[in-house]
Amino acid sequence: MDANVVLLNSVEMSSRNLSVLLVEDSRVLAERLRETLLSVPGVQLAGTVDSEADAVAALQRHPVDVVLLDLHLRQGTGFGVLRAIPGSAAEKVVVIVLTNYDLAEYRRAAAALGARHFLDKLRDFDRLPTLLQQIGADIEDRDSPQPN
């Protein structure tokens, strides 16, 4: 395993945890995001990586529910990670782009590659817990048996 990959386990908080892969190259921000993620009931941090190759490898090893994705990474880009998510997985995984580069062309490109949410690190950071709770509820509804 790459020294830059940190895998964590959290205490099971609900019948179905929301697994999240954090892709962020800033160690300081990654730590702040880890604290935020682990404070959200039902969220399980599947791992933290800081490069495109490590993110792609992590997703191939262990599918997750959510990818929290920076666009500018230590090596590679978040766009490369988006391109590497296979079509069948792209329908299930929810990608949240969290970036300092809130540019219209980045928003369009990320959406075209399958990102469902695009957040600005400074302006939208505080929205993350609520968004994750909503995604968790949506997934639980999607996975629940439907009445006939």
Q: How far apart are alpha carbons 119 and 110 in whole angstroms?
A: 11
H/E stretch holding 141 reads helix 128-143
With pLDDT > 70 as the criterion, what percentage of the chain qualifies?
A: 83
Of residues 82, 53, 57, 54, the one with CA closest to residue 67: 82
Q: Per DSSP, which regions of the chain are E strands? A: 18-23, 43-49, 66-69, 94-99, 117-120
| Cα 138–chain centre separation | 15
Summarize pLDDT for 49-94 with one digit per residue, the tens.
Answer: 999 999 999 999 999 999 999 999 999 999 999 999 977 666 789 9
Q: Is residue 92 part of a domain?
A: yes
Question: pLDDT at position 90, please?
Answer: 63
Question: In terms of residue numbers, what domain contains 93?
Answer: 18-139
Q: Is residue 133 part of a domain?
A: yes
Q: Mean pLDDT in the chain?
A: 87
Inside any domain, residue 114: yes
98's tokens: 């969290």
Q: What is the CATH number of the domain that holds 126?
A: 3.40.50.2300
Asked if residue 7 belongs to a domain, the reply is no
